[in-house]
Amino acid sequence: MASDSKLLQTLQQNPFVLAPMAGITDHAFRSFMREMGSSVVVTELVSATGIEYQSKKTLDLMSYDEGQRPIGIQLFGEEPEIVARAARFSQEKGADFVDLNFGCPVPKVVKKGGGSAILRDLDALRTMVSTVKKAIDIPLTIKIRTGWDSESRNADEVCRIAADEGVTWVAIHGRTRAQAYEGQADWDYIAQVKAKAPLPVLGNGDILTPDQAVRRMRETGVDGVLIGRGALKNPYIFRDALSLWRGEQRLELDRNFGRLYQSLAEKIQAQCSEQISQIQLRKFAAWFATGYPGAAAFRKAIFQSGSISETMEKSLDFFGAISLSAQEDTSSERFLMGGHG
């Protein structure tokens, strides 16, 4: 079980962290991304109420294995006591830390007072954080947006409250709730908050390349960065960012893309039913293909494939062929413009 200082030490050694993404950062993908260099991993948002009712679907989201450590379980909910019990349960399940989702903009979650809704009521936020913190001995982290809307950005106040209540770090997605996924993440604002924050801050939003990850670290002074969608376009981003950050010459990495995909495929098939495996295998292949020659035709072909073996065969052919090609810059294209944080 990680202590506060152990978790921070991990971050100091490697500040590049996979951002939680519902339906994507599941058991298999977290294992894969830890192998690919993400410093720590966090589950997608897990409903505290679902844990209260011991819903199988909810509990499945919490499954992990030893290779994923340090592993955090991200919780969302409205009732502090219920979230606190869910946090305690996460600790009993062996999680290294608990992360609270205060960033989800999705109406279904926000309407009930979950996710980013709490950014409008900082007394409620304090109560939530302190109630959960008291219930656990493992570290507690939170993930927020810059504020509810552009008139009420309050990440600095949230950081002060979090520090008072013993939170280990605050991860800030540099958009307001009102922005959803539009516009650009505001890294100037993240830098301002970091400069005054009495606790470690992780910045997040729109990092697509290893160079950008390192530049954000250097320019803003944050203690770490979360990378979400960028890891779907470039699964090598963590390893490359870390070697750049450490000032190492770019490692001659094994760029055998086919083998990489095969390794993810094995993890997916070990965890998921045949039907879900087929969906996940196609999704990841389609994302990893971004910016490579022939990506559009490849996507069409795999979404028409009738079986896992056909998807695998087509994907291995494609990834085998692109290993030496350069990836085009696709940063101006819209890509996964919705999610829970």
Ligand X SMILES: Cc1cc2nc3c(=O)[nH]c(=O)nc-3n(C[C@H](O)[C@H](O)[C@H](O)COP(=O)(O)O)c2cc1C
Q: Does 77 bind ligand X (CB under 6 A)?
A: no
Cβ closest to ligand X, residue 266 vs residue 329: 329
Q: Which of 2, 7, 17, 19 binds ligand X (CB under 6 A)?
A: 19
Q: Cβ closer to ligand X: 225 or 322?
A: 225
280 three-state secondary structure: helix
Question: Minimum CB separation from ligand X for residue 263, in Å?
Answer: 22
Residue the block writes with tokens 């009102």: 178
Torsion angle in degrees (nearest 10) through CA of 201, 205, 209, 211: -40
CB hemisphere CA count around 102 (13 angstroms) = 32
For the chain, the C-alpha Rg in angstroms (whole number) is 19
Quick note: the x/- pattern for ligand X over 108-147, rule CB under 6 A, is -----------------------------------x----
What is the distance between the alpha carbons of residues 341 and 21, in angstroms, rounded to a whole number? 8
Q: How many CB atoms lie within 10 A of CB 242?
A: 21
Q: What is the 3-state secondary structure (H, E, C) of 98-144?
A: EEEEECCCCHHHHCCCCHHHHHHCHHHHHHHHHHHHHHCCCCEEEEE
Active-site amino acid positions: 104
Name the segment binding ligand X (CB under 6 A); options: 200-208, 209-217, 233-241, 263-271: 200-208
Work out whether 227 is an interface residue with ligand X (CB under 6 A): yes
Q: Rule CB under 6 A: is residue 290 a binding residue for ligand X?
A: no
* C-beta of 103 vs 318, nearer to ligand X: 103
User: To 10 degrees, the CA torsion angle through 337, 19, 25, 137?
Assistant: -140
CB of 174 to ligand X, least distance (A): 8
Q: Which of 126, 173, 177, 194 is close enough to bind ligand X by CB under 6 A?
A: 173
Residue 15 binding ligand X, by CB under 6 A: no
Residues that bind ligand X (CB under 6 A): 19-22, 24, 44-45, 74, 101, 103, 143, 173, 204-207, 227-230, 336, 339-341
